Structure 1
């Protein structure tokens, strides 16, 4: 089958909807349908009586030989018809079994002073409409005249008409439209229109099909037009190593690429920026199936590695949920990590000792943190694990290092008084921690662009030397930087380097 999936879907919809609509309208709901339409609703003015003397008195019912004064009269003709495709039997009227009446023809603000059955499509209908059938005239509370109509059997296309002479009982101006009250089992009672012209159902169906055709045409034009960003698919296997902070974004982009390009396979071994660079340096020569992703530039010692900027990544300071602080100044962050602030009550928080959590040396996230926020080297703290810090009372060790992003988030969430830092999207999804604003500014793409938020870095992809154009690594990196992979980066709150108004921002520590 040719055509794009969208075109195929639209074609199926264009076929299915008319079939469903026809089945619903004419087989399910429309199979048993009782219709009515008001063919005439005309006031009788005093001018008629003056031109043709005696007409109105002839219409008046007798009342013990006396004719009451009649004025504000009207004549209404209503057609009741079987507008469905199957017979309506007396048992199809939704009324108690012992009731002879099936419908109620109502005239709000008018009372009935005379009525007659004026037309039968079949003379056999007369037996359902004689004096013993239950047809009657009455008035309901609220000044509403009513003609009770019997349970008439109507074959397909059958109809009868009711002519009523009415007098206004209350109100002024135009009369409210006549109404029929009742229910049909397994069908419906509805007002019908003249059979001339095209029905609203048909017009709606034609309009729907026209929209489907127009969308198919537009999709076809779009699919056949040259793409501004053609997707280069390549087969093979690619192993990605490096930053744990950017790992969720790379994994999501790889899943998206794999769905579009069959034959592509991805593996991940994310253990931190520096370990990733080390592995790429040792194993990546003449190996186009290995790529490293880092938070920041590679540093010294890797002369053969080639960089490609991917995106600016947002980081945030995080703290344990009970510290009672939601914002820090740059000076307070520096004092905390320099050991000059030992308790959170010194910055307006709870009476809790400060427990510092860092990433290990060689982490790209730690390098970004120290370069962007600190102005002096951190003190050398006694070696301790985060578990030891968690359960040791001050002034014992209050500092620990974590190797991975997930370890940082876990340590801060489980250690009362802890403070650390992490990629902002990961922090937002972790319970037990509080992301901290910096001098009132939140980690957003806009705050990076207007230079009000200081804690961000550049994510790089590294290869060992230049790669052949036909490899999966080349195609995937192009997908991330120039094609639909940019949408994945944006969805993770990062900012693709290609979107920056000033490309220099994507240089290390610009």
Structure 2
């Protein structure tokens, strides 16, 4: 088909009644493909790049250059050069380039590097994001002789490799190898975890095997498999990969769609999705921020709709909606973390998104994972100091909870504690000044943001928050750490594996909204691609999928 025929066919599609739908679907598929791949199919991204791979020192041959050879051939220098002639250094940078943290359990096959026949003599970790990461990587380094992805072999730790180094050097100086010296040909990262944007460099010192002649080998291989993720070698990245091509096609189709919609919107009667009036959305302090963002996007398309948002707490929101009369029923909607026990039969609930929560601690606590029983022991007062749960210095535990109006607290009590939180004993979160004899030091804060601020400020504090807010706080303040629960990282992908601290966000209305009201149009907008994209970008899973059906998590009895 020639260019003219192609343009004619495109014009016919655009002029048809289904033109906008065809273009919209095509653009959505083209532009969503790389994002679905990145954030759903292969969400986690780990990249590496070999920065240096060359020999150490001088070749003995290079010490002679003809006429000046005798002047430069210093015996000591030549002997040193010969010692180093078969030695090489490899430097590899490893970087979490994705938008998600990578936990050890995310690796189906741990990341490892092999160096052909070259033998590993020493290794070190440098240029890590922080000292904690450097120590974590060093502790997990393993060295092995031969390995395949199907048959991993047992490795030895860095301390063993370095303990043998003096013997190797002594043997090298004496021009002989140590008797029965182990030979390691690869390095493996056991239990590697990287938060997003964290990186480090691995430096490996290698030597060619005895009997090798010729140039230094440059061979490097890698093995790894990342569940729901991708590991890439930065040296092999193509300038125009399929994500760039599909996105470009999507942009072109989107341009054609916008042109069609502009013409369509200019016709009378085509703004039925908009309404004029006011609407207040109140309730969950955890979910109000993203709802405010979606409301602002809706107002950008429908400037006659005035939507305000206010964080009052899930329970308080539902209580405020219950007495609303028929004349104001379309002017108030409330957000609740999970189904509300305060809702009567005249209130209607719409599932909006899956909300996953996380326990958070101040880094002085010295833990990054807890069991449900340990959490219950902490909140009941049976465990009052972190040294009861891990080796190290004593750090008193301060509990930062939410008030009784909080849906997040309700979810925490139901899903994790299996009962009510202890009473309020502290205002400062540092000591139980309200009751010095109390078993716990427990304070309360009114919003998720205030809980995270307090956890960052109080050494040894523990609290809870929705995962998007918790991750943002951890990225913003190094004193806040996200905690695994029962070995599961807090993420929607671990819910089916047993992660328990999650719920569904509901939007409650007083009965069914009237047709043409701002509330009705806004509820419809929450199921639109634009609103779903906002939810996903903020770290939530929309309940209404692209096909218009409810996500299975939003229909589960325990949601």
Residue 481 of structure 1 deviates from its aligned partner by: 2.6
Mean alpha-carbon deviation: is it higher for 475-484 or for 452-461?
Answer: 475-484
Task: Within 5 Å, give how 1:94-243 maps onto structure 2.
Answer: 220=259, 232-243=273-284
Kept in 2: contact 1:441–1:453 (CA 8 A):
yes
Return the TM-score normalized by structure 2: 0.48
Q: Is the 8 A contact 1:320 1:413 kept in 2?
A: yes
Show the counterpart of 2:459.
416
- Which residue does the alignment assign to 2:377? 335
Aligned residue for 2:312?
271
Pair 1:429–1:395, CA change in 2 (3 A): farther
Q: CA deviation at 1:354?
A: 1.2
Distance (Å, rounded) in 2 between the aligned partners of 1:441 and 1:435: 12
Task: Tell whether 2:508 aligns with 1:462.
Answer: yes
Q: Does 1:347 align with 2:389?
A: yes
Counterpart for residue 447 of structure 1: 494
Q: In the alignment, what sits opposite 2:288? A: 247
Change (3 A) 1:225 1:300: same
Aligned partners of 1:347 and 1:269: how far apart in 2?
Answer: 39
Name the counterpart of 1:257: 298
Q: Could you tell me how far apart the structure 2 residues matched to 1:292 and 1:377 are? A: 24
Q: Which moved more, 1:496-505 or 1:345-354?
A: 496-505
Contact 2:292 2:308 (C-alpha < 8 Å) held by counterparts: no
Cα offsets for 1:120-162 (capped at 9, x unmatched): xxxxxxxxxxxxxxxxxxxxxxxxxxxxxxxxxxxxxxxxxxx
Q: 1: CA distance between counterparts of 2:531 and 2:254?
A: 26
Partner-residue secondary structure (3-state), 2:344: coil
Question: Which residue does 1:324 correspond to in 2?
Answer: 366
Find the aligned partners of 2:378 and 2:302 in 1 and give their Cα distance: 49
Once the 2 structures are TM-superposed, how far is the Cα of residue 218 of structure 1 from its aligned partner? 6.8
Aligned to 2:27: none
Give the direction of change, closer, same or farther, for the CA distance of 1:486–1:367 in structure 2 (3 Å limit): same
State yes or no: 1:407 paired with 2:456: no
8 Å contact from structure 2 (residues 322, 343) kept in 1: no
The answer as to 2:407 corresponding to 1:361 is no
Distance in 2 between the 1:242 and 1:502 partners?
A: 23
Which secondary structure state, in structure 2, belongs to the residue aligned with residue 441 of structure 1?
coil
Q: C-alpha displacement at 1:225, in angstroms?
A: 9.4
Partner of 2:481: 434
- Counterpart of 2:552? 503
Please name the residue that 2:102 is paired with. none
Deviation of the 1:223 alpha carbon: 7.0
Query: Does the CA contact (< 8 Å) of 1:428 and 1:435 recur in 2?
Result: yes
The verdict on how the C-alpha distance between 1:336 and 1:263 changes in structure 2, with shifts beyond 3 A counting, is same
Residues 326 and 394 (structure 1 numbering): CA distance in 2 closer, same or farther, change over 3 Å?
A: farther
What is aligned with 1:494? 540
Distance 1:494 1:364 in 2: 16
What SS does structure 2 have at the residue aligned with 1:498? coil
d(CA) in 2 for partners of 1:356 and 1:385? 11
**Which residue does the alignment assign to 1:292?**
334
By how many angstroms is 1:359 displaced? 1.1
SS in structure 1 of the partner of residue 364 of structure 2: coil
Structure 1 unpaired stretches of 5+: 4-211
Q: Distance in 2 between matches of 1:341 and 1:422?
A: 21
Q: Which of 277, 280, 284 does residue 321 from structure 2 map onto?
A: 280
Structure 1 partner of 2:351: 309
Gap runs ≥5 in structure 2: 1-13, 15-250, 266-270
TM-score (norm 1): 0.53
Pick from 402, 422, 428: which aligns with 1:386? 428
Q: Structure 1, residues 227-258: CA drift from partner, whole Å, max 9, x if none?
A: xxx98112221111100000111011011111
Q: Secondary structure in 2 aligned to 1:429?
A: helix
User: How many angstroms does 1:403 deviate by?
Assistant: 2.1
1:312 Cα deviation from its structure 2 partner: 0.5
Structure 1 or 2, whichever has the larger Rg, is 1
**How many residues were matched structurally?**
296
Instruction: Measure how far apart 1:464 and its partner are.
Output: 1.2
* Aligned-partner Cα distance in 1 for 2:489–2:343: 35
Distance 2:446 2:278 in 1: 27
* C-alpha distance in 2 between matches for 1:315 and 1:362: 17
- 1:374 corresponds in structure 2 to 417
Q: Give the distance between the partners of 2:335 and 2:493, measured in 1 at CA.
A: 24
Give the SS at the match of 2:469: helix
Q: Secondary structure at the match of 1:366?
A: helix
Deviation at 1:411, TM superposition (A): 2.0
SS at match of 1:488: helix
Distance 2:255 2:540 in 1: 35
* 1:343 Cα deviation after fit: 0.8
